[in-house]
Amino acid sequence: MSPADLTVQRVRHPVKMRRLQVRRTQLLSPNQLLVTLGGPDLADFVTASFDNHFKLMWAPDGLGEPELPTMGPEGPQWAPGAPRPLMRDYTPRRFDAQALELDIEFALHGDGPAANWARQAQPGQTLVVGGPRGSFIVPLGFDWHLLVGDDSALPAIARRLEELPASAQVTVVLALDKADRRALDTRAELTLVWVDDPADLPAAVQAVRLPEGEGHAWAAGEAQAIAEVRKVLVGHHGLDKARVRASAYWKRGQADHHESLDA
């Protein structure tokens, strides 16, 4: 493939607020719950990349249905005096355009609004989803792919593995509780490295032997750990910064943290 064929593309999407209903839930492991949402508002939903994220919104009590905002030039706008909802970033695990269904995987650790809502989710309950705002589309044609993360990145990693062709080589370094580890479906040639704690990710990535050829590395999870992973990829493995995408999906001691670490 030519270098142009391996360029990561950024695509913007119109931001729309969607009122969706829970259709069903499925416990995937002791601390991982799959919630399937559906509704006519998904008719024009777009999720073009495995690491898309959107806002899930709850009422301030963390459980009820929030007020639906309108979109203005500065983003979502709520009516004067209306309480602001609780919001968290999540990844679309699967979207079925025919059935108008959207799957989201929740980690049930802790006492945050997302985990608390997911634990009590029942068919018919309503949730508001805003976005995705845009997509970074990583071509499938790289000679190899490296995916690194913790439980917050598991939905994106699992989705990417399902997308990769049989000709791809992929290495996954994943920090996950032993009780939550499960088979990950892929047609690609997979090397899977489990670690017990997100803090162990940088050392595990340093120990990985990357294949020859053109590759792309993607990493997401706890802010400090993923920042160190990026340093290892660029400094130790010598990857071009353009071939590394790193994001903080959460940060120890801080609620609702999401940032790009690519700068």
Q: Which residue has the higher pLDDT, 48 or 76?
A: 48
Report the CATH fold assignment for 140-260: Rossmann fold (3.40.50)
- pTM for the predicted model, two decimal places: 0.93
Check residue 260 and give its pLDDT.
Answer: 84
Check residue 3 and give its pLDDT.
Answer: 55
Task: Kindly state which CATH superfamily the domain 10-134 is placed in.
Answer: Translation factors (2.40.30.10)
Confidence tier at 62 by pLDDT (50, 70, 90) = confident
Residues facing residue 215 across a β-bridge: 144
Give 67-126 as a DSSP string: PPPEEETTEEE--TTPPPPEEEEE---EEETTTTEEEEEEE--SS-HHHHHHHH--TT-E
The residues, ordered by sequence, that sit 6+ positions from 148 with a Cβ below 8 Å of its Cβ are 172, 173, 174, 201, 205, 217, 218, 219, 220, 221, 226, 229
CA-wise closest residue to 90 among 65, 59, 115, 109 = 115
CA-wise closest residue to 217 among 259, 183, 258, 261 = 261
Tens digit of pLDDT for each residue in 146-174? Answer: 999 999 999 999 999 999 999 999 999 99
Residue carrying the six token digits 């010598």:
238
Q: Which two tokens stand for residue 106?
A: 């929740």
The percent of residues above 90 in pLDDT, for the chain, comes to: 74
Q: Where are the beta strands (DSSP E) in 141-241?
A: 144-149, 169-175, 189-195, 215-222
**For residue 244, pLDDT beyond 70:** yes
CA-wise closest residue to 14 among 134, 95, 127 = 134
d(CA 22, CA 19): 10
Q: What angle do CA 248, 152, 102 make, to 5 degrees?
A: 115
Average pLDDT, the chain: 92
Tens digit of pLDDT for each residue in 70-124? Answer: 777 777 788 888 888 888 999 999 999 999 999 999 999 877 888 999 999 999 9
Residue pair 42/127 in contact by the 8 Å Cβ criterion: no
> Residue ranges of the domains in the chain?
10-134, 140-260
Q: Cα–Cα distances in Å, from 232 out to 138, 226, 238?
A: 21, 10, 8
**For residue 133, pLDDT beyond 60:** yes
**For residue 228, pLDDT beyond 90:** yes
**For residue 222, pLDDT beyond 90:** yes
Residues facing residue 194 across a β-bridge: 174
Confidence tier at 263 by pLDDT (50, 70, 90) = low
**For residue 4, pLDDT beyond 70:** no
Q: What stretch of H or E contains 32? A: strand 32-38
Check residue 79 and give its pLDDT.
Answer: 82
- Residue 132, preceding bond cis, omega within 30 degrees? yes
Q: Which two tokens stand for residue 68?
A: 């639906």
Residue carrying the six token digits 């290892």:
232
